[in-house]
Chains A and B, each alone.
Chain A
Amino acid sequence: MANKRLAMVIDLQKCVGCGACAIACKTENNTQTRARGQTFNWADYVFKTEGTFPNVKFAAIPVLCNHCDEAACVQACPEPKALYKTEEGITMYNKKYCLGQTCRKCLIDVKNKCPYSSENAEKEGVPYSVISWNQIDVKTQEVWQDKTELIKGATASPAEVAAKTGTTPANKHAYEYKDDRPPINWPKGKKVSGKGAVADVRSDNGVDKCLFCIHRIRNGEEPYCVVSCPAKARTVGDKNDPNSEVSKLIAKYKPMRLKNNKGEWLKDEEIEKSTKPNVYYIRSFKAEAKSG
């Protein structure tokens, strides 16, 4: 499987902006509730409204990590890199090497920060951020620590539900994925201090982003947002294989790729200097009028 390069194509004509991918992702990956300017939504949306009544154009653009060929976050991440590219092109994360809150170069590095992320989405007024970060010493999934009851003795508290189910969050989807390779650029012969692993629930002092459901990909399954889409708007495959469905779609339609987390598109001349995102968008949300 040399030179495999995973890409996703999102067909905007099929997409209806229903929310299924974003909610499916939260159920699959146990991402927490928005807090402190961090969205914690690995799958999210940009909505655009243009024009004036009655000639209004509205579009939903589903977004996720672009798993860029030249991922800025990977470049920004100091050695030994916690963020790295897997052999199939996933921008992967290994908590073990992450310096956490004191670093956050993937989010704030002047030269190489992720163009699709913001340190504080709320303050910056952007619709989403690919990377969120978990503050040091703040328990992740903190809403489940709450011990208050609305009606004493008759309704539960979040902490009680979590205790009852034995998991945090209570609706946790347990999964395991161990990355059995050392990070890339690891000096030959140098001892690897341990194998990376993806936790189904993130802990504090680390970054938090879409991992393309690597735990499913490596099992031969598609990411959960893909299988959950009722419109079948998402296609995943190897863009280096000209016979793959994604290659065919990219060839058939003039695809667009996102420039930033404001919903702007990369212009043709900007692609070369871009991070080379691997999420492609085809067609448009609003159908073109039929002629005749």
Chain B
Amino acid sequence: MDEVRILSVTGNLGYGFPEKSLLEGASRNPHMIGADNGSSDPGPYYLGSGQHLTKREQVRRDLGLSLAAARRLGVPYVIGTAGTAGGRPHLDGFLDILDEVSKRDGHRYRLATIQAELDKELVKKAVREGRVRPLGPLPELTEQMVDESARIVGQMGTGPFVNALEAGADVIIAGRACDTAIYASFAAYKGLDMGLAFHMAKIIECGAQCAIPLAANDCILGTLRRDHFELEPMNLDMRLTPTSVAAHMMYEQPDPHHFFEPEGMVDLERSHIVSLDPRRVKVTGSRLVSTGKPTIKLEGVKLRGYRTITIAGMTDPRLIRSVDEVEKRVRDGVARLVQGTLRPEDYELRFIYYGCDGVRPIRGAVAHPHEVGIVIEAIAATQQAANTVLSLARSSFLHGYFDGRKATAGNLAFPFSPSDFEGGPVYEFTIYHVMEVDDPDALFPVDIREVA
């Protein structure tokens, strides 16, 4: 095959793409249609809890339209990192929506599902054998950290997708996957150049984010040939320039010239982007360089407790100047009131002052703003304990004394009743490591079944 046309419908299935763009894309007779459905960006909660960031109705809409387009054309439909984090409950939740849509629309196809949740014993064995190393500023992985994690996923590369395509899958729903693998696997399956394929996949996995105006929730077509690829946004009001595409190559990447995949390093030092017309670009020169033994990126999170918060505003000028004093009294008061039930190390209490330094610490003297928003956060081992700590902190802050206080009826303006909100379980990324493996595909079993 000398030309492969791949349609990426959106940067995240559920964000909502224009139907017109999808129809335009389908009219180009793509050989494959796909979308990413996950990311670690929304934080550790999704991997830990099994919840999805995109809601059922959103996914149902995008999935319904794009799956129908793929089935009409009779081409593979591929989803990576199903259900936001790509663990077992995420994949199962996504498959439930797929089942609903398929029954509704009467689709028949061969379905491949690929699990990405990893067995803890397998990861512990790799730790014992010294095959795991941290990515960036995290401690070395220990067996204890593995045991303490709520869930661990591995990011699959192209191999498991290729296995599914070779098994004749019409629809592939994968757990945690490298974003590029969704699209690059089709090029691997057809035997095209993988340096170009990975580069093209890296761009189109974000939908039309590389276009002007940029939009992650729109469709883009990638056409891969033997020695180059072309890109074209499927929204006819959008265009691409070499600069817009190059700028996108920086996005969320520490190094715009190189990125790493389980298959090796993609070297863009000699990539060259030229304009074909006002809406299309052509890219040459991207290369895949082998980096030795294959590695799989691991993501894992640990449960830190349960969260309750309250949100309020403050506007009294003396109060705004005295929040440090009030906060200290509240902390001391809460510690005193829970004595005998909770030790200081059993809960976390935080005060965020929006309008002062809620997002970033400010250096030097700052003028006092006329209003300050406050978020009080309690985290404890149970939801009930967090509720109690937050409730005590909230009432103590509301009625807290400070020198020179004039507004003695209350310190906080609450916008809501009830004032307190349960945030549920709180997680933290503790595993963001790479694991060397002999056979990366063996970690991601492909399950095939017929849907009728």
Do A and B truly interact? no
Name B's A-contacting residues (CB within 8 A).
none
